[in-house]
Amino acid sequence: MPYTLDEETLMRLVRCPESAAELECFDSWLYSADEQLYPIICRTPILAPRIESFLRKETWSIARAMAEFGEEQEVRSWFFSRYGCLDEGGATPVDTEVAGEGYPGFWDCLQIPGFVTELVQQTPEQIVEDQISGTRFKMGLDLGCGQGGMMQRMAAHCDQVIGVEVNPYLAMLANRHLPATEIPIRYLVPEDGLSTEILAKPAVDNGRVICADVTALPFDEPLFDWIHCGHFLDLSDDPAALVADIAELLKPNGLLTITSPLDFSEEDHFEGMFGLLARDFQERFQLDGIPWLRFNHKRRYVLHEDWVWMGNLD
């Protein structure tokens, strides 16, 4: 039976992303550490490093979430009094704004061309889930969790699961999707216009997403039995260093799973990471060339080929 991941439990796990100091409850929706305040907006703790500059940079994204999802007036007043109105900058772009993308059953809800159907029959995330079938984990961590689709899968195999997403809007969207039993999917059908389908799913009450940076994770000890890295290592300047930091959060014999495209310009981009994985992990599975389809922000199909890897920490 899943265990609910409540505010008190989450509070015991997270730390200041810069100093690893314990966080204190300054208010019901504010954490504090090292004279810095880390707000909880739309049920989402924002634990990014250099928090003041981060919140100023992401004003558009956070304001959009508050307007769309609702927020208490006290929180809204605090945020806009500190970080101003929407007169500068703009929202950080996201790869997709189609609600529900990444969740099991997403593609079944859409009217997609016949040539696309074959590409979505088995996603990289489904391959990962198939490989860990029958295994039970106490604590899971999904890095780069987006809207929460992989977390939906992980929640069925973990007592508790935490997601990390650097984009505030996506993190807050995930915290709306996960406990819901339905996700309205609105998408454009060229000949028919805007269409809406309902994706039915089990509610997740043992998962929570925080807005944080994978290069400054707000944890300081091996807490996790399973860590999943989804589609961000190829974007890192130093994936080997990043995986080394992530490995420090795994319990002994903990499972690391990775889904990532390999189509980057530098051929040796993953060379150091491959060496680290071979040295510190016992490989369980890997497969390359798996089709991965997504929408981009212009509602166009984008096709990648993914590499899936999993192994246990020695």
Q: What is the CATH number of the domain that holds 282?
A: 3.40.50.150
Helix (H) or strand (E) holding 244: helix 239-247
Measured in Å, how far apart are the chain's first and last C-alpha atoms? 29
CA dihedral 107, 112, 117, 120 (to 10 degrees): -30
**DSSP 3-state assignment of 107?**
helix
Helix (H) or strand (E) holding 41: strand 36-41
Question: 3-state DSSP helix/strand/coil percent for the chain, to nearest 5?
Answer: 30, 30, 40
Give the angle 236-125-253 at the CA atoms, nearest 5°.
75
With a cut of 50, which residues of the chain have pLDDT below it?
1-2
What residues have CB less than 8 Å from 120, skipping those under 6 apart? 107, 112, 291, 293
Do 47 and 172 have their domain in common?
Answer: no
Number of domains in the chain: 2
Is 100 among the domain residues?
A: no
Q: What is the pLDDT of residue 266?
A: 76
129 neighbors 108 (Cβ within 8 angstroms): no
Tell which phi-psi region holds residue 200, choosing left (phi > 0), alpha (psi between -120 and 50) or beta.
beta
Is 40 among the domain residues?
A: yes
Is 287 among the domain residues?
A: yes
Q: What is the pLDDT of residue 156?
A: 96
Do 248 and 161 have their domain in common?
Answer: yes
Do 125 and 243 have their domain in common?
Answer: yes
Do 225 and 273 have their domain in common?
Answer: yes
**DSSP 3-state assignment of 82?**
helix
Q: Which domain holds residue 161?
A: 107-313
Ranges of beta strands (E only) in 73-203 are 137-143, 158-165, 182-189, 193-200
Is 181 among the domain residues?
A: yes
Q: What is the pLDDT of residue 1?
A: 44
205 neighbors 179 (Cβ within 8 angstroms): yes
Do 172 and 291 have their domain in common?
Answer: yes
- Which one-letter amino acid corresponds to residue 309? W
Rounded distance between C-alpha atoms, residue 281 and residue 279, angstroms? 6
Do 179 and 45 have their domain in common?
Answer: no
Chain-centroid distance of CA 14 in Å reads 16
Single out the residue of 230, 217, 206, 208 nearest to residue 137, CA to CA: 206
Strands 30-33, 24-27: pairing kind? antiparallel
Is 231 among the domain residues?
A: yes
Is 277 among the domain residues?
A: yes
Is 290 among the domain residues?
A: yes
- Which one-letter amino acid corresponds to residue 174? A
- Which one-letter amino acid corresponds to residue 98? V
Q: What is the pLDDT of residue 8?
A: 84
Query: Does the CA dihedral 49-63-14-96 come out positive or negative?
Result: negative
Rounded distance between C-alpha atoms, residue 152 and residue 147, angstroms? 10
176 neighbors 207 (Cβ within 8 angstroms): no
Do 70 and 203 have their domain in common?
Answer: no
State pTM to two decimals: 0.93
**DSSP 3-state assignment of 308?**
strand
**DSSP 3-state assignment of 98?**
coil
Q: What is the pLDDT of residue 208?
A: 96
